[in-house]
Amino acid sequence: MDESEFLAGYDPRAYPAVAVTVDVVALTIRGGGLRVLLIRRAEQPHAGLWALPGGFIRPGEDLPQAAARELAEETGLSDRSGPLGRIHIEQLASYGAPERDPRMRVVSISYLAFAPDLPDPRAGSDAADASWHPVDKLPELAFDHDRILAHGLERARGKLEYTPLATAFAGERFTISELRGVYETVWGVQLHAGNFHRKILSVPGFVESTGETTESGGARGGPRAKLYRAGDARLLHPALLRPAREEQIR
Amino acid sequence: MDESEFLAGYDPRAYPAVAVTVDVVALTIRGGGLRVLLIRRAEQPHAGLWALPGGFIRPGEDLPQAAARELAEETGLSDRSGPLGRIHIEQLASYGAPERDPRMRVVSISYLAFAPDLPDPRAGSDAADASWHPVDKLPELAFDHDRILAHGLERARGKLEYTPLATAFAGERFTISELRGVYETVWGVQLHAGNFHRKILSVPGFVESTGETTESGGARGGPRAKLYRAGDARLLHPALLRPAREEQIR
DNA sequence: TCTGTTATTCTCATACTGAGTTTGTCTCAA
DNA sequence: TTGAGACAAACTCAGTATGAGAATAACAGA
């Protein structure tokens, strides 16, 4: 049955109401680890549990717009100005299992956001509490948000392979080592510094030199590092592949 | 605002109704080309235009289930039995621009389906007409279905690179050349037969030999080809990359 | 000044890819 | 029956990419 034929022949209000929400998996790197923005639920069901920020879409509001608004409400930053201007947001997936919310039919469209070290979230009027949680030490999550988050993490890890997304986690200017830190943090593996360095500089358009170096060497020694900024590539070619794990192939 | 806090505090029925539909981009290979299943709209708006099969989700029905049902209704085949048992269905993306349907707010969750040469669709009671259209010679489509279809095609092309999806377009048993034909059709490029052959056999778990060969040589000559079936790999490693196009990198 | 750290560059063996060639089987038409 | 062309399969070879390790040099801190 075609959607519009349905609409022409039936009154949707005669069907049980369907609520459409957006949920945002917002990732940043803080304190040396990958973290996700969670809010603590104030109301039933699942009151007291942590959940992804999200909410009902508003009339006249597009989906990506709703996701940006939800994120802005939690971080206190506007999408238009300030550091949030560099935030990357993309659609992740949709979840609509009939019983995922015990009260009514809720279809949730999830978005994935990446950004360099964001400020502490402010608990809005609608959230009891909000904070950045290390993804490797998560509390129990409300609804099916653990599944959504797992999906977001896997998407983020995959996207580092063939897009310059890692630069979105770094500052405006960064060193190759900082970029390597992003990969190591998100992938949770150690990379060979020399090979990584060679690879980054050999992928066309990934990074471009600023001609500058850091003000001083590293905290524990070492020479000053050259500074780079993000290049103009939208895809990395050849891709920067994770070390293959046999278990994910079969 | 969290979805459930919203729900606890507000009556969703007080908001304008939101309709949730699924739309299916069903792809198959027929007549030497890649084709998509389209139905001709019988009702306004866009009556007479072609559209992707889809429809309203039903109470108690999960999203993938709704997509499978819509596809089954158009093809006349059940997902549980027959050739449709081998169909691959995955979620594509969601579309919810406020004005994408002129009558009311409609959020559509699109699904992508691949299958070997499917039978002719039967026009259901709800569709004026249904048929497989070559993707390189499309009619004008209703709503934003051109965008959804373009997204589906790009996803399909990408998935051939790192998953054994191509085998879902081939029959139960196939030759390396047939598999190469799938890649050439979906990607729209010519591949080097020798290199392709070497590559397919070198990727662990992509295909496994049946020990058999075709009954006779090709229509225009050539030796009998060995027959293979799909292997147990879920990811291809190393991946089978498309020839890089500069324009998609920058 | 000495020691340990780290950025950057090299080396070298192995793996993968693109392009072309070789061998032998098969269909079709003269 | 035979020759031409088609095609599966395997091979060659040069160019490129990757993994592992080592070398070099700049720098922090003791």
Q: What is the pLDDT of residues B193-243, one digit of tens each?
A: 999 999 999 999 999 999 999 998 888 889 999 999 999 999 999 999 998
Let me know: does A151 contact A92? Beta carbons within 8 Å.
Answer: yes
Residue B107 has a CB neighbour count (10 Å cut-off) of 22
A237 touches chain B (CB under 8 A): yes
Measured between CA atoms, how close is B81 to chain A, in angstroms? 21
What's the gap between Cα A240 and its chain centre?
19
pLDDT of A245 > 50? The answer is: yes
**Alpha carbons B89 and A223: distance in angstroms, whole number:** 53
Task: Of A14-23, A24-33, A53-62, A105-114, give the lowest mean pLDDT range.
Answer: A14-23
B145 contact partners, CB below 8 Å, separation of at least 6:
B23, B51, B52
Distance, CA of B223 to C1' of C29, in Å: 18
Average pLDDT over residues A17-40: 93
* Cβ-based burial of B4 (10 A; exposed 0-12, middle 13-18, buried ≥19): buried
Percent of chain A with pLDDT over 70: 85
CA distance A103 to A99: 8
Q: Which of A7-11, B54-58, B94-98 has the lowest mean pLDDT?
A: A7-11
Q: Over chain B, what is the mean pLDDT?
A: 87
DSSP B80: S
C-alpha closest to that of A89 among A76, A70, A73, A108: A70
Answer whether residue B44 shows pLDDT above 70. Answer: yes
Write down the pLDDT at residue B243: 85
A208 near B CB under 8 A: no
For residue B182, is pLDDT > 80?
yes
User: In this structure, are strands B18-30 and B105-115 parallel, antiparallel, or unpaired?
Assistant: parallel
Alpha-carbon gap, residue B99 to B106, rounded angstroms: 8
CA atoms within 13 A on the CB side of B150: 6
Interface residue A118 vs chain B (CB under 8 A): no
Q: CB under 8 Å to A39, separation ≥6 — which residues?
A: A50, A51, A52, A53, A74, A121, A123, A127, A128, A129, A130, B2
Instruction: Report the distance from CA of residue B216 to the C1' of nucleotide C23 in Å, as an integer.
Output: 19
Whether residues A21 and B41 touch (CB distance < 8 A) is answered with no
Mean pLDDT, all residues of chain A: 87
User: Looking at residue A1, what is its pLDDT?
Assistant: 45
Nearest alpha-carbon partner for A29 in A172, A179, A130, A229: A179
Q: Does position B9 have pLDDT exceeding 70, yes or no?
A: no
Q: A73 at the B interface (CB within 8 A)?
A: yes
pLDDT at B210: 97
pLDDT per residue over B150-160, tens digit each? 999 999 999 99
The answer to whether the CB of B169 falls within 8 A of the CB of B28 is: yes
- Separation between the CA of A151 and the C1’ of D18 (whole angstroms): 29
State whether residue B86 sits within 8 Å of chain A by CB: no
- Chain B residues inside the 8 Å CB shell of A237: 244, 249
Q: Which of A5, A56, A204 sits opposite B3 (nearest CB)?
A: A56
Quote the pLDDT of residue B3.
Answer: 45
Distance from CA of B223 to the nearest CA of A (A): 33
The shares of helix, strand and coil residues in chain B, as percent rounded to the nearest 5, are 30, 25, 45
Least trusted range by pLDDT, from A12-16, A118-122, A215-219, B126-130: A12-16
- Which tens digits make up the pLDDT trace of A210-240? 999 999 988 899 999 999 999 999 999 999 9
- Res. A84: pLDDT tops 60: no
Pairwise pLDDT comparison (B16 vs B184), residue with the higher score? B184
Q: Do B41 and A107 touch (CB under 8 A)?
A: no
**Alpha carbon separation from B49 to A8, B98, B100, B140 (Å, rounded):** 15, 21, 15, 7
Q: Mean pLDDT over residues A83-93, rounded?
A: 79
Q: Give Cα B53 distance to the centre of its chain.
A: 12
Tokens of B17: 């109704």
Query: Which chain B positions have a beta carbon within 8 Å of A143's beta carbon?
Result: 4
Q: What number is the average pLDDT over the span A6-19? A: 58
Spatial distance between the Cα atoms of A183 and A236, rounded to a whole number of angstroms? 14
Q: What is the pLDDT of residues A36-79, one digit of tens each?
A: 999 998 887 898 999 999 999 999 999 999 999 998 887 766 55
Work out the average pLDDT over B3-19.
Answer: 55
Crossing angle, helix A193-202 and helix A176-187, to 10 degrees? Answer: 110
Q: Residue B59 and residue A109: Cβ atoms within 8 Å?
A: no
Test the B interface: residue of A4, A7, A202 with most B CBs within 10 Å: A4
The token pair at A24 is 């945002």
CA to C1' distance (Å), from B249 to D10: 35
A-B contacts (CB, under 8 Å): 209
The confidence band for A180, taking pLDDT boundaries of 50, 70 and 90, is very high
3-class secondary structure, B91: strand
DSSP state of A49: S
Q: How far apart are the first and last CA of chain B?
A: 37
Q: Is the pTM of this model over 0.85?
A: yes
Give A39's strand partners.
A51, A130
In chain A, which residues have their Cβ closer than 8 Å to the Cβ of B20? 18, 20, 96, 107
Residue B23 in this model has a pLDDT that exceeds 80: yes
Q: What is the pLDDT of residue A238?
A: 94
Q: Is A59 on the interface with B (CB under 8 A)?
A: yes
Q: Which of B8, B17, B39 is the closest to A13 by Cβ?
A: B17
Q: Where are the beta strands (DSSP E) in chain A?
A: 18-30, 33-40, 50-51, 54-56, 88-95, 105-115, 129-134, 207-213, 226-230
Q: Which residues of B touch A4 (CB under 8 A)?
A: 41, 43-46, 51, 101, 103, 142-143
Instruction: Answer whether residue B32 shows pLDDT above 90.
Output: no
CA A229 vs. chain centroid, Å, equals 21
Give the CA B196 to C1' C28 distance in Å: 28
| Residue pLDDT, tens place only, B87-139 | 889 999 999 999 999 888 999 999 999 888 777 776 555 556 889 999 999 99
Please give the distance of CA A183 from its chain centroid, rounded to a whole number: 14
Can you tell me the distance from the alpha carbon of B179 to that of A126, in angstroms, rounded to the nearest whole number?
Answer: 54
Q: What is the CA radius of gyration of chain A?
A: 21
Q: How far apart are CA B149 and CA B26, in angstroms?
A: 9
**The tokens of B210 are what?**
């049946």
Residue whose tokens read 């099969």: B53
- CB within 8 Å: B56 and A1: yes
**Tokens for B154?**
């790009």
